Amino acid sequence: MTERELQIIGRDFPRKDAVARVTGKERYTVDISLPRMLHGRILSSPYAHANILSIDTSMAEAMGVTVITFADVPQKRYNERIITIPPVLHKDHTVLADKVRRMGEAIAAVAAETEELAERAVRAIKVEYEVLPALVDAQEAMKPDAPAIYDTVMFGETEIAIKNNIACTRDIDEGDYETALAQADVTVEGSFKLEKIYHAQMETKSCVCRPEPDGGLTVWPTTQSIHNVRILLGEIFDIPLSKVNVHRVPIGGTFGSSIQMNAPIPICAALALKSGRPVKLTLTREEDAHDHTRYGGTIDIKLAAKSDGTLLGADMKVVADIGVHNIQAYSFLGVSIGWLVSLYKIPNIRYRGTAVYTNKALSCAMQGFGNPQVTFAAESLMDELADKLNIDPIDLRMKNYIGLGDTFWGQGPQVKSVVLSDGVPELMRKGAELIGWSKRITTEARRLTKSNSDRVRRGIGVGRGFHTSSAGAPQPGDVIDFSGAMVKLNIDGSVDVITALMDHGGGTLEALAKIVGEELGVPFDLVNMAPAETCSTVYDCVTHATRGVYAGGGAAYKAAHSLRKEIIETAAKFLNVYPDALDLKLDDEKGQGVVYCRSIPEKQMTLKEIATRCWSESWKTIAAVESYRPTNCPPAYVTVFVEVEVDTWTGVVTTKNVAMGSDCGTVMNPAMAIGQLEGGLSKGAGYALFETNGWDAEGQLLSRGSWMDMKVAGIGEMPSNDGLHMHFADSYEPTGPFGAKGIGEAAMNPVAAAYANAITNAIGIRFYELPITPERILKALEKGGERS
Amino acid sequence: MTVPAFNYLKPDSLAEALDMLATEPGAYPIAGGTNLMVDVRAGKLSPETMIDVGDLDELRGIVVKDSQMTIGGAVTIAELLRHEIIRQRVPVLFAAGKTFANTLIRNRATVGGNLVNAAPCSDTAPALLVLDAEVSLSSSSGTRWIPLTEFLVGAFQTQRRADELLMEVRFPIPPASSRGGFEKMGLRKISCMAKVDVAVMADFDERGACKDARIALGAVAPIPLRAEKAEASLVGTAFIARAPEKPVRCGEQVQDKTIEEAARLAGEAASPRSGSEYKRQVVYGLTRRILTAMATGIRDGEAS
């Protein structure tokens, strides 16, 4: 696309769902109530690893409820995330478990007239367990004598053995690392440890399922992809997709937690099918906290560079703790090195990745899919390298970063992409200016000055990062990535946009309304984002990978563009003018789109006149449907500068100033885009400073799922408004709809790195493990003897 | 897990409430429910009966009389914070209330409930301890007053008998010549449990010499501790009179050996029982911060 003057995009309008959301009128899954609906509850395992010797459901069934166990559900194994193509998909999950592999594993489920009865019935089920040693540490799980969590899993249609609890491995070599190392003047290395933290999305996982008289299912789930839920339910329960209809329901945040088909969905479906009644199943917060986490594990990186700072090579080793299910471990191992080699030009790499099963909550994508983890490690090492070579950290980054014209493979080696828009220089320059980088004392200088004896020490750190907008690529690969949309013109000149795309709350659908409105000259208010269900929408893979606006919006743009052509061609007939002589724009005075002839101004028709005439002459509805495969996945860059104060008496870190800049191409929704950055900052601060998620030796989640022990960042951790400086690069992505790229995950990716670097700058000590808690800071200061 | 069923009784009068407590063995009085309902939901408690005392007039007032303040057991933390005399004259309690959980919980949680729950990390207990508070317990057979120090027996253990209701908390309003402070260290700035609480009250003569000092440490032991050696080290010194003329800027230190020594002793008091070097360090830091603020009138970090 080439740039054109924008009439709608980039302006702030009240969100279409704002009134419903803030007045409590929005209907989330948990708010749905159907006639004759039953309430479901899950029997959760009290052990992390156990064989199930027997289940006695007779007492529960005597209460007049529906009970299901492993014996009542389809026993075929599936992967709850079907973004990987079928032949290379690992499948280890069943609707209910035949063996306990994590604390809270669903062993049985009940549907009853009331939630209370369901709860009592669940407690009446007697299960005999043979408890097995729990594996909570990935290194322990790989030992030869460790008990097997799975004997076999499915790989495509083949059953494969699992050895040493290793779900998969992935080695990637490019260039010649050993030679690069030999030629290097300097190396830096670190072994980084990352927590398997909980997504802490506002809405817990939930589902309502209604069995239909024709044997079909109608489903209202919490999900990021209604079509993938439909395909999976069809497969698991052997129902034609034409009889499975999944509704899009507003969702209370996800951060990636509903990227796969959520575990309660097929359980709810099985209860509905067995009872013949609609069933609602909603996880409690405690159950939800036991269900999913971010990928944790260790990342070892060694960077080799020349004395002028040019990076020559990287040696990287990742051990990913994937918990109880292999959702997308092979992809995860691919992107882990992908994030590094797409952040900086590193011609020679040696990479060894291992994904390990443990008896813990499953690891799934969480805002960044490995990117915040790798960026924390990479940006920590870049600062260390800058220190070692006495180069300014910004200069070192600018020397090596991947920018305009460079090819990269952020989403794994199959997903090659070329950088066509690059706001990094602007983001760095402006961020440095806003934070006062020129006055920053270098970490080395600080170590030597008397400010090092101050009780409260200030430090400034930078972290830069990116996320790919979609996983698009020129060729098909292992990962499915395409979207679709339908647009139709109503007789009053308004339009309906029908897309399965999910909006997690960030304003994705608002952006789509603007894209369609802009292309068709239809005011924002007259663009309807229609309710969506799988039977009346074309396929959209899933809202993930920061692809909503770029790829979902790309599909909407493509459909709107087709519609625009048809509108002009139709008007051309009515006006007796060649289509090429016509143009379309939003006429502010008329309050609607107008097709007009550039050289004969009186030859014009409004969209309403065109559509009404099509209707009254019984001709047609002007409508278009398109699928769209992005062939690029441009990096949405984010640069974060953080200024912190570290209190050396208590170890408490206070955020004083943040300058956060985004290159998301054209900014669709300015206020919401700032909200995305602030949200990324908040989640990143929590990841950096205090979010933990521990399991004891028996595999029990230490927090038991209580908010009191699951610390996520609240508003109190944010700097004051005066200390928040959000900015956007003047950037235009030629492959994006109206020049747009993504923003969401990018906003989180470099935040922890920036915090770590700021803390190091303040106290001269580097941390290789997140979170950097007050306790760890005090301990490090004590060891370093640097407490005032 | 959903909340299991229990009987819910709502007495119209105090007499009826005490009668219910006497006749319903195992019944729990409930007011804000911010601890009890969480425990019930988690399956830690399964009471047969709950008696809602949250609306009883006798438990709802804050009364000031003869320089003594009496706070009803069902007064919420939010109400405490709205009280002008507490805000002006009892800064240690006001500061403790401000750090208490979050707005939603402060709107429901009660002073009496926080004391009866007797969590080691209670924020009100250390503040009330340095105010020399007493509590009253009533049953159908009468009322008794006992010092808070005796009321708190251990972690989640108090002197309250099952048929008794915590009625009121009272303490002398600190004289104008006194100063105090409260600091809480949690993982987050809002909505967190204390890892360490430090509460300090001290009174001074006209020359600025310390007549009397009380330091209580929360969350370092089953019940809040008094740092007696630290207190003793302050008495007789004039640490507030040696305040520098200009405000202390962020990062600068008040070089006062008395404060440093008291903070060190407070840290030592925390160490043996909490078993955590970290908590010792934080007690040291928070105590030093409070004493410095008392000496300068400025909290660290606020001057910059």
Which residues are CB-neighbours of A433 under 8 A, at least 6 positions away?
none
In chain B, domain spans: 7-52, 57-172, 188-296
Whether the CA torsion B121, B122, B124, B128 is positive or negative: it is negative
Neighbours of B10 (CB within 10 A): 15
pLDDT for res B252: 47
Taking only the tens place, the pLDDT of each residue in A157-193 is: 999 999 999 999 999 999 999 999 999 999 999 999 9
Which residues are CB-neighbours of A785 under 8 A, at least 6 positions away?
none
From B187, which residue of chain A is nearest by alpha-carbon distance? Answer: A690
Helices (H), A62-129: 115-124
Beta bridge partners of A417: A408
Taking only the tens place, the pLDDT of each residue in A593-649 is: 999 999 998 999 999 999 999 999 999 999 999 999 999 999 999 999 999 999 998
- The answer, yes or no, to whether residue A295 has pLDDT greater than 60, is yes
With 0-12 / 13-18 / 19 or more C-beta atoms within 10 angstroms meaning exposed / middle / buried, residue A174 is middle
* Residue for token pair 């809202």: A543
User: How far is A508 from A672, CA to CA, in rounded Å?
Assistant: 10
pLDDT for res A786: 53
Tokens of A724: 């928040």
- The answer, yes or no, to whether residue A101 has pLDDT greater than 60, is yes
Mean pLDDT of A688-698: 94
The one-letter amino acid code at B66 reads D
Q: Are strands A166-174 and A106-112 parallel, antiparallel or unpaired?
A: unpaired
Residue pairs between chains A and B whose CB atoms are closer than 8 Å: 83
The one-letter amino acid code at A477 reads G
Least confident among A118-132, A297-311, A418-432, A438-452? A438-452
pLDDT for res B234: 96
Nearest to A411 by CA among A464, A363, A466, A483: A466
Q: Do domains B7-52 and B188-296 have the same CATH topology?
A: no
Taking only the tens place, the pLDDT of each residue in B216-225 is: 999 999 999 9
Q: Are strands A206-211 and A186-194 parallel, antiparallel or unpaired?
A: unpaired
- The answer, yes or no, to whether residue A583 has pLDDT greater than 90, is yes
Q: Which residues of A754-774 are buried (b: 16+ CB within 10 A; e: fewer)?
A: bbbbbbbbbbbbbbbebbbbb
- The answer, yes or no, to whether residue B60 has pLDDT greater than 90, is yes
Mean pLDDT of A36-48: 97
Least confident among A342-346, B134-138, B280-284? B280-284
Beta strands per DSSP E along chain B: 7-9, 28-30, 49-52, 62-65, 68-72, 134-139, 142-147, 152-154, 157-158, 165-172, 178-185, 196-204, 210-218, 225-226
Q: End-to-end distance of chain B based on CA atoms, in angstroms? A: 48
Q: Collect all residues of chain B within an 8 Å Cβ-Cβ radius of residue A456.
A: 250-251, 300-301
Kindly state whether B44 is in contact with chain A, defined as any CB-CB distance less than 8 angstroms.
no
User: How far is A438 from A424, CA to CA, in rounded Å?
Assistant: 18
- The answer, yes or no, to whether residue B54 has pLDDT greater than 90, is yes
- The answer, yes or no, to whether residue A337 has pLDDT greater than 50, is yes
- Do A757 and A768 meet the contact criterion of CB atoms below 8 Å apart? no
Which run of H or of E encompasses A486? strand A483-489
From B280, which residue of chain A is nearest by alpha-carbon distance? Answer: A650
- The answer, yes or no, to whether residue A709 has pLDDT greater than 60, is yes
Which has the higher per-residue pLDDT, B276 or A542? Answer: A542
Q: Collect all residues of chain B within an 8 Å Cβ-Cβ radius of residue A116.
A: 2, 5
**Among B1, B286, B301, beta carbon nearest to A286:** B1
Nearest to B148 by CA among B103, B109, B112, B202: B112
From B253, which residue of chain A is nearest by alpha-carbon distance? Answer: A455
pLDDT for res B304: 30
- Do A57 and A67 meet the contact criterion of CB atoms below 8 Å apart? yes
Mean pLDDT of A6-16: 94
- The answer, yes or no, to whether residue B254 has pLDDT greater than 80, is no
Nearest to A759 by CA among A778, A772, A775: A772
Neighbours of A256 (CB within 10 A): 23
- Do B156 and B118 meet the contact criterion of CB atoms below 8 Å apart? yes
In this prediction the pTM is 0.94
pLDDT for res A754: 98
Kindly state whether A114 is in contact with chain B, defined as any CB-CB distance less than 8 angstroms.
no
- The answer, yes or no, to whether residue A3 has pLDDT greater than 80, is no
Nearest to B1 by CA among A346, A75, A290: A290
* Mean confidence (pLDDT) of chain A: 96
pLDDT for res B1: 56
- The answer, yes or no, to whether residue B255 has pLDDT greater than 80, is no
Q: How far is CA A230 from CA A29, A93, A246, in A?
A: 16, 17, 6
CA A6 from centroid of its chain's CA atoms: 29
Residues in chain B: 304
With 0-12 / 13-18 / 19 or more C-beta atoms within 10 angstroms meaning exposed / middle / buried, residue A264 is buried
pLDDT for res A160: 98
pLDDT for res B300: 43
CATH class, domain B57-172, is alpha beta
Which run of H or of E encompasses A408? strand A407-408
pLDDT for res B190: 82
Kindly state whether A774 is in contact with chain B, defined as any CB-CB distance less than 8 angstroms.
yes
- The answer, yes or no, to whether residue B275 has pLDDT greater than 70, is no
**Among A119, A451, A647, beta carbon nearest to B2:** A119
pLDDT for res B271: 65
From A41, which residue of chain B is nearest by alpha-carbon distance? Answer: B1
Nearest to B33 by CA among B54, B62, B16, B10: B54
Instruction: Give the three-class secondary structure for A516.
Output: helix
DSSP letter string, A688-729: HHT----B-TT--BTTTT-TTTS----GGGSPPGGGEEEEE-
Taking only the tens place, the pLDDT of each residue in B8-25 is: 999 999 999 999 999 998
pLDDT for res B302: 40
pLDDT for res B257: 87
pLDDT for res A322: 98
- The answer, yes or no, to whether residue B253 has pLDDT greater than 80, is no
Taking only the tens place, the pLDDT of each residue in B103-156 is: 999 999 999 999 999 999 999 999 999 999 999 999 999 999 999 999 999 999
* Residue for token pair 């994030």: A339
With 0-12 / 13-18 / 19 or more C-beta atoms within 10 angstroms meaning exposed / middle / buried, residue A433 is middle
pLDDT for res B250: 41
Mean pLDDT of A684-709: 92
User: How far is A567 from A520, CA to CA, in rounded Å?
Assistant: 9
- Do B157 and A680 meet the contact criterion of CB atoms below 8 Å apart? no
Residues in chain A: 788
- The answer, yes or no, to whether residue B247 has pLDDT greater than 70, is no
Kindly state whether A714 is in contact with chain B, defined as any CB-CB distance less than 8 angstroms.
yes
CATH of B188-296, one of 3.40.50.300, 3.30.390.50, 3.30.70.1450, 3.40.640.10: 3.30.390.50
Taking only the tens place, the pLDDT of each residue in A237-275 is: 999 999 999 999 999 999 999 999 999 999 999 999 999
**Among A284, A708, A715, beta carbon nearest to B1:** A284
Residue ranges of domains in chain A, CATH in brackets: 474-628 (3.30.365.10)
Q: How many helices (H) does chain A have, and how many strands (E)?
A: 19, 33
Could you please state the CATH topology (level 3) that the domain comprising B7-52 is classified under.
3.30.43
Nearest to A40 by CA among A3, A65, A74: A65
pLDDT for res A450: 60
From B276, which residue of chain A is nearest by alpha-carbon distance? Answer: A775
- The answer, yes or no, to whether residue B79 has pLDDT greater than 60, is yes
pLDDT for res B248: 44
- The answer, yes or no, to whether residue A445 has pLDDT greater than 50, is yes
Nearest to A384 by CA among A369, A371, A397: A397
**Among B281, B286, B301, beta carbon nearest to A456:** B301
- The answer, yes or no, to whether residue A454 has pLDDT greater than 70, is yes
Helices (H), A210-256: 226-237
